[in-house]
Amino acid sequence: MILTNFAFLYTLIQECPELKLSFHGRKVHSLGRPVPTIEGLDAGTGLSPLIACSVDTGDRGLLSSFVERWHRETSSFHLPMREVTITLDDVSSLLHLPVVGDLHAFQPLHVDDAVQMLVDLLMVSAEAARAETGQCHGPYVRLQWVRDIYEHRCQAGHWTVAARAYLLHLLGCTLFANKSVTNVHVVYLEALRDLSQTERYAWGVAALVHMYDHLNDASINSSRQLGGYITLLQVTNMFFILCGSTMFNFKFC
């Protein structure tokens, strides 16, 4: 079974042009774990497993070949031997994220609302928030800017705000990574407003939906770039190739 899968994989990779991929593992690992003072706050949100679940690089040929066979109508990869998809069980088992809970309805965010959210939740001045969103041309902020805010709030002892900044950076590098490579949407701060309530959200569902959206986008012939949480796609595809359906919870259609 494994030899057959590797033969299939080799053929697959030879046929497909490589996608442009964005890996944020180095950003996560460079920032490291949160400072001890806020480690409990971060762990209480249910998002801390993401700190150790990011790859620095990936197999572009492997990922490109699977994306080439993604069908948005069925949300599955159409492989020669069968169809396979990533399930919530996979997300729960591999990422240890909650898949049961509330679903946060992230609404479209106007730039003015993004500025106010940054002022309220990250304790930045309105001028600094406007300058940053202006540089990003919308309700986005740079990951490096968020990282700087985190370090400054730690130095000032504003621990709750520091925890929000750390988690926004983490989400922007993992579950909600986008094609910009450098930016994260401010709207995700809303789920971090009350950190004692953040754990109630089904983050695993959000991760899977976001990944499906990026796969749908990348499967269009004119698109040669894949956003989203690349680690999730890399790990699940490798487990499929190596282990088939016997060891992990892939759903075969």
Q: Residue 85's pLDDT is what?
A: 84
The 3-state secondary structure of 107-122 reads CCCCHHHHHHHHHHHH
Dist CA 179 CA 218 (whole Å): 11
pLDDT score for 144: 95
- Name the pTM for this structure: 0.84
**Is the distance from CB of 253 to CB of 74 less than 8 angstroms?**
yes
What's the rounded Cα separation, in Å, for the pair 53 and 67? 21
The predicted pLDDT at position 181 comes to: 81
209: left (phi over 0), alpha (psi -120 to 50) or beta: alpha
Give the whole-angstrom CA distance, residue 40 versus residue 163.
10
pLDDT tens, per residue, the chain with 253 residues? 443 444 444 454 445 556 677 667 678 877 888 999 999 999 999 998 888 877 666 667 777 778 888 888 888 888 776 778 888 988 888 888 999 999 888 888 999 999 999 999 999 999 999 999 999 999 999 999 999 999 999 999 999 999 999 999 999 999 998 888 899 999 999 999 999 999 999 999 998 998 899 888 887 766 677 878 888 887 776 666 555 543 334 443 3
Cα–Cα distance, 182 to 172 (Å, whole number): 9
∠ CA 46-50-55, rounded to 5°: 170
Q: What is the pLDDT of residue 249?
A: 42
Query: If DSSP codes are grouped into helix, strand and coil, which group holds residue 151?
Result: helix
The answer to whether residues 36 and 162 touch, using CB atoms and an 8 Å cutoff, is no
Q: Which residues of 137-166 are buried (b: 16+ CB within 10 A; e: fewer)?
A: eebbbbbebbbebbebbbeeebbebbbbbb
Taking alpha carbons only, the member of 87, 70, 46 closest to residue 171 is 46
